[in-house]
Structure 1
Amino acid sequence: MMFSVNLCNLLEVTSGKRLTSDLATQWIDDVDDPYELHVSNPEYAKIKVPDPGPEQELSILSKPIKILAQSNAYPYGLTNDKIERLEEAGYETIMDIAEATDETILSIYMIGPRSLSRIRDVIYQAIWM
């Protein structure tokens, strides 16, 4: 028997209905139930996926971090204060933050573990939206 599930389907039945770093960790860590991921359905093999080329990346990654502000698009977004602190530390794009280490972000004045968790959650949401 084969099941096909996408991220939207998973989030519809997930408490909170938003992708967080904690949720992603729960999905992949400490799983006692056996699971397998297969892409063996012949219908999947018919789907032609274009080669993005080495110079292309997700367009969201090049966007300025200001788009992560709390809004209708990102109701759980970052406060203006956090965005200003990140910008003052030299972070300009979502890619800059996504590639930064936790230690580097935690070295920013007034950004502690809870803020870091919030920043990571918002980044995950932006990338997966």
Structure 2
Amino acid sequence: MPRYLSLVRVQENTIDMADADPGFEARMGALFEEITKAGVMLDTAGLRPTAESSRLTWSDGKVSVTDGPFTETKEVVGGYALLQCKDRAEAMEWSRRFLAVHPPHWTVGLEVREVEEMRGA
């Protein structure tokens, strides 16, 4: 079965967990339990703030490093999920459900991409 990487995109510093409605954590927990029992969720995690990260760039035969925060970036990857689904439609449905549990006043986006499996591995 194909695997899909779902990248959670947020505008850093605009989402505060203290601002979530009282049922948010329970809804998210129920969804994670369901998706795990269905055998779809392979891995998931949130990511630390960009202030604690670094970007490495390969250019002209050299590696350069830029330490965060990255003020020029509006939207960042705030987390990920690795899903194993029968097809893209199933991955998209789980992704829609993930977004729907968030408070309506938050802006959260997902980028869903199929993992390209290595041939012969």
Which TM-score tier does this pair reach, normalised by the shorter chain? Answer: under 0.3
Question: Which structure's relative contact order is higher, taking Cα pairs within 8 Å and 6+ residues apart?
Answer: 2
Higher helix share: 1
Q: TM-score, normalised by structure 1?
A: 0.24
Larger Rg: 1
